[in-house]
Chain A
Amino acid sequence: MTDFPPPYDPGDVDEWYRRASASDRSRPSAAVRQVVLEHAEKLAAARAREAQPASQSGHRVGWRAWRGPAAVGTVAAAALAVVMQLPRLLQPHVTQSVEPVSPSRSNPAATSVPAVPPVPSAAAPAPDVARLQSEARAKGGAPAVAARESEFARQSLDMATRTEAPALVAQASHGSGAALRHAAEIGDVAALEVLLQKHVDIDSRDSLGRTALMLATLGGRTGAAALLLTHGADPNAADGRGTTPLEIARASGHPDIVAALERYGGR
């Protein structure tokens, strides 16, 4: 016996819709399903890699994950500070200020006390350092300054090696966003791989609102752009002017990046 569909009751629109949908056999293309599931799998694998150190080392893993790169970076920064201070430590009676500021009459010491150069980023926020600088200027006297600068250098090094200090970790995090963008800009895929293993914000932006993906696109760095996309970089993260990576790629004539961006939903 033939099963004719019962007549629809136009009064029940929802029922009409449900029955029409039930008999609808149209589907999204198989290619879409495949691409979506593959993409999801890659992102999950990336997340699993990120989570792996956490599951292996228990509590305080966040600190530990940062300890290596943070220590290297901050020690290097402190060492640089020491090197920069070295000439002054060897020649305590320096009379020329490096600051392009005219000497203050109310503070004669300012004429003979060399200004402490900006501390490299890792040691910059140390309040003790700022206090030492301030005291050095206030008290004056080259030997005293030399001694205090020596103390400053020592403390800088100490601060640099204490990688669990929240300020330093925060700075390392900030710096890694910049490092990620730099690696993307120059197309250093190996460096990107390393940085992406860390808890780096893949969509962090520079002062112009550009992400690592945007910079890789600007530079025509296909490998870097592809790597960032597979790690979940937002393909539509526009810069401060609202320009998207896809628009840049098209304008710059990078068809491979255009294709990659489109595959990942770039608009």
Chain B
Amino acid sequence: MTDGGESDEALISRYVRGDAAAFAPLYRRHEMRIWRYLQRNVGNRATADELMQEVWFAIARDAARYRPTARFTTWLFAIAHNRLIDALRGRRAHVSLESIGHEAPLVADQFTTDSGAEPLAAVLVRDQAAALAQALRRLPHEQRDAFLLQVEGDLTVEEVASITGSSFETTKSRLRYARSRLRELLGEYA
């Protein structure tokens, strides 16, 4: 919960009981986090849009299966992760683990900066954002996925491990390597 309103768990519970109005605030609250997680993983806006739709359809359809033993965010990102993996495993010919690294222009363009900023400042922000996008792109998929899950989902190492089906130690290593590599790559930019 980030907007001081009802908790995610309360909203999903209301939605399961048939209160349609409970879904929109839930969607709005997590829309950008899920979007960034998907878009920065696949590096393609159209594919990210497709996956975004699939993820939220699954949330709406399977809402009754959510159990408040886990945080809603963990469940949400688990669904997003599973959809992403399905897409990457070749259900869609145009997205694959191999192809992700070859979409440089799209990845760089995915950061659309605030047009209201001063021109030079806007350029700087865009450059910095592009540097991050390119750095993310150069990470191995598992490291990028773990990193994005953690920063976008605000998840613990245990939660990331649970979602990715990896051990705690493996996940911890991936996160450490991801940050180390990003630091290195962004250091070149800085």
Contacts and interface: CB of A to CB of B under 8 A. Distances in A.
Contacts of B49: 28-29, 32
A151 to B, nearest CB: 45
Interface string B42-64: 00010011001110111011010
Interface residues of A, number: 45
A39 B187 contact: no
Interface centre among A8, A28, A45, A48 (most CB of B within 10 A): A28
Nearest to A17: B151
B161 interface: no
Contact of B121 (A4, A40, A49, A267): A4
A267 B83 CA distance: 11
A136 to B, nearest CB: 48
Interface residues of B, number: 53
Contacts of A9: 190
A29 to B, nearest CB: 5
The 3 A-B pairs of least Cβ separation, nearest first, read A48-B18, A44-B20, A10-B186
B128 A27 contact: no
B102 interface: no
B50 to A, nearest CB: 8
A86 to B, nearest CB: 47
A13 B190 contact: no
A2 B121 contact: yes
Contacts, number: 138
B52 A13 contact: no
B72 interface: no
Given A36-B27, A44-B23, A28 B121 contact: no
B57 A21 contact: no
A59 interface: no
A206 to B, nearest CB: 21
B112 A43 contact: no
Given A2-B118, A32-B49, A32-B52, A8 B57 contact: no
Contact of A16 (B22, B118, B132): B132
Contact of A28 (B15, B52, B183): B52
B153 to A, nearest CB: 13
